[in-house]
Amino acid sequence: MKLSKQLTGYQSEFTKFLTEMKQKNPALESDQREGRNLLWDKPPIDLDDIKRDDLARVKQQAYVYQSK
């Protein structure tokens, strides 16, 4: 296809911006990974711990502000 051969060297302004930003700040990608790990990558869930926590939970009154 003739069109794809003509546009092989094309880069959008956004791609140029990202490339330039990564060149100015080489630690940018590692900082992004650290932030992702902090917010999203959680350790695996232990089902036994969850069950033990549920059993240890004290049941709340139906109406919290009423004193007996």
pTM summary value: 0.45
Residue 64 has pLDDT above 80, yes or no: no
- Mean pLDDT score of the chain, rounded to an integer? 86
Residue 68 has pLDDT above 70, yes or no: no
Q: According to the model, what pLDDT value does residue 6 have?
A: 62
Q: For residues 35 and 41, what is the distance between their CA atoms, to the nearest angstrom?
A: 10
More confident residue, 67 or 32: 32
Domain that residue 23 falls in: 11-68
Asked, for residue 3, whether it belongs to a domain, the answer is: no
Mean pLDDT of 13-33: 93
Q: How many domains does the chain have?
A: 1
Q: Which two tokens stand for residue 41?
A: 């990558």
- At position 22, the amino acid (one-letter code) is K
Distances (CA, A) of 41 to 14, 30, 31, 45: 28, 15, 14, 12
Asked, for residue 33, whether it belongs to a domain, the answer is: yes
Asked, for residue 2, whether it belongs to a domain, the answer is: no
